[in-house]
Amino acid sequence: MQSEFTIPGKDKRSEQSSLVVDLGLKNKVYVFQQMEGVTESFIYSVLPMLPEERRRKVMHYRQFADRRNCVISYLMLKIGLQECFQIVDFTLGYGENEKPYLAEYPDVYFNISHCSCGCAVAVADSPIGVDIQDIRPFSWEIARRVCSKQELEVLGRSSDRDWEFTRIWAMKESYVKMTGQGIRCNLSGINTLSRKSIQVSDVSNGVIAVCF
């Protein structure tokens, strides 16, 4: 079975606005969920702090939620890189399947995820993948396409398939983001229940998974 990290001082599936999960050494996951406190005026106030490429990306989005997530996740990345690796200035490059990397620091890794319930950023000294998901409605049709036999058996026994499937999906996404395969690979061939390198936990209104 996969391992699980817990939020300090919080019970499972409880309310939590932001946290930092320390995975040891220089590996950390930052989670931000105070989404209601981020306004359009805040977004525009921090735009001058962002590099030109990031500003263009932010302004390309039509929806406020997308602009907000783009800004917040970048600021979280800056905080993580500075805290863990003392990196202040960096340039983002994009490799196979559009996986981002640090052009000047090939031995430092990061991953970003966001959804309506929050943003997550992982930084590490080895490849890492992170995925944060809103609890999504369960569908057997989708589950049979993307889940392994063992995962389907777990879903069949579950009393809360929305939550169980979201956990499985988040674990799969964190794995393919870590490897760089992307979600177009054969997801049903990935049995998350047997991969000890994947950690999963509940956050407010969602689930987060980390693979390293």
What is the tens place of the pLDDT at every residue in 188-209? 888 988 888 899 999 988 999 9
pLDDT of residue 24: 62
Burial (CB count <10 Å: 0-12, 13-18, 19+), residue 175? buried
Q: Domains, the chain, ranges and CATH? A: 18-211 (3.90.470.20)
Neighbouring residues of 93: CB distance < 8 A, sequence distance ≥ 6: 100, 101, 102, 103
Q: What is the rounded distance in angstroms from the CA atom of residue 53 to the CA atom of residue 46?
A: 14
pLDDT attached to residue 68: 94
Phi, then psi, of 133 in degrees rounded to 5: -135, 140
Mapping DSSP to helix (H, G, I), strand (E, B) and coil, where does residue 210 land?
strand
Give CA separation, 84 vs 20, 47, 77, in Å. 12, 24, 10
Q: Which portions of the chain are predicted below pLDDT 50?
A: 1-17
Percent of the chain with pLDDT over 90: 69
| Residues with Cβ within 8 Å of residue 80, at least 6 apart in sequence | 28, 30, 110, 121, 122, 123
Q: Which two tokens stand for residue 84?
A: 């863990």
For residue 20, count other CB atoms closer than 10 A to its CB.
14
pLDDT at 20 (0 to 100) = 59
